[in-house]
Copies of this chain bind each other. A is one copy, B any other.
Amino acid sequence: MATIKEVAQLAGLSRTTVSRVINNHPYVSDEKRQQVLDAMKQLGYVPNSSAQRLRRNKTETIAVVISRIVNPFFSGLVDEMERVASEHGYQLILCNTRQSKEKELSYLELLRTKQVDGIIMASMQNEWEVIEPYTAYGPMVACNEYRPGMSIPLVRLNQEEAGYVATKHLLELGHRKIACLAGNKAIPLSEDRKAGYLRALQEYGIKVKEEWTYYHAFSIDDGKRWFRLFQTIETNTRPTAVFTGSDEVAAGILSEAKVHGWNIPKDLAIVGFDNQQIATLVTPRLTTIEQPISLIGRRALEVMFMLLDEQINDLPPFEERLPFRLIVRESTVLAINM
């Protein structure tokens, strides 16, 4: 591998001048610039980025922490983030925690060891007290998830409102016993959705039963499992509709319900979340909440770049709420036109 020194020698100039050409520094005569470019070409020279990183004290790399890449919500998010990052000449390091607190911590260390310039938290496994100290080592942006007392910019949608709209949709269809499948207990994201769910029920003067809420539902299998449990509830106390935290869970419920000969939505109306591809592939298709995944990803990175630019004059917004919408399909309403 050729180094800057060899280029300088071949061009008959100093390393300083070569460096200036590399970095498009203005004060270089056209003639010498050309000599340098020729020498670089001849040697197939390319700057060593480890050296540049050390000198410039920046890596042009951003870490993005997610819980699992195989979840279409996260892969969609990462897809868009990668696009925005590369537009800015940045790399993305994939931090797939698989919901492990330890892995998350090891990825946070990337910021401390200067392996990345900033870190985007699209998932948080640890308590905020554990994560907070790392904010001292570089910019951190929260994406979708958050924690009370958090002191970093947050890009997300209004989960409470989404829970409200989804539940209200079921109420308007006449349902009065509605179950809520939330994600992690005590996580704001889940609690917000539940709060919206509760608000809608209260608006209709319905006395909420705590046993209508279930936690820890994430995957297709969780959905299937939940349905089997649900089936054991006595018929006349059993909810007639369910609001889930993900299309995967909804699809699992649907799939298992069909196996047991249930008629969806007649016997059980189901609302998903995310408007993933599977939402339109299953039969009946899923009513769901569409999140603007690309927009969330893009905004999170744009906020990160604002922080990185340290043009602190235009400080990024502390919290940004993106729009969402309810998409009504046959898992809640019969005979929708396709």
Chain A residues with a Cβ under 8 A of chain B: 1, 46-51, 53-54, 57, 59, 61, 68-70, 72, 75-76, 78-79, 82-83, 86, 91-94, 96, 98, 103, 106, 109-110, 112-115, 137, 220, 248, 251, 254-255, 258-259, 277-278, 280-283, 338
Contacts and interface: CB of A to CB of B under 8 A. Distances in A.
A251 B277 CA distance: 10
Given A282-B281, A282-B283, A82 B94 contact: yes
A94 B86 CA distance: 11
A82 B76 CA distance: 17
A59 B61 CA distance: 13
Copies of the polypeptide in the assembly: 2
Contacts of A86: 103, 106
Contact of A78 (B1, B48, B94, B259): B94
Grouping DSSP codes into helix (H, G, I), strand (E, B) and loop, the A interface class, with mixed when no group exceeds half, is helix
Contacts of A76: 70
B96 A82 contact: yes
Contact of A94 (B53, B57, B94, B112): B94
Given A53-B54, A70-B72, A82-B96, 9 more contacts: A48-B114, A50-B57, A50-B59, A50-B114, A53-B53, A69-B82, A91-B115, A92-B93, A92-B94
A313 B68 CA distance: 37
Nearest to A285: B255
B278 A281 contact: yes
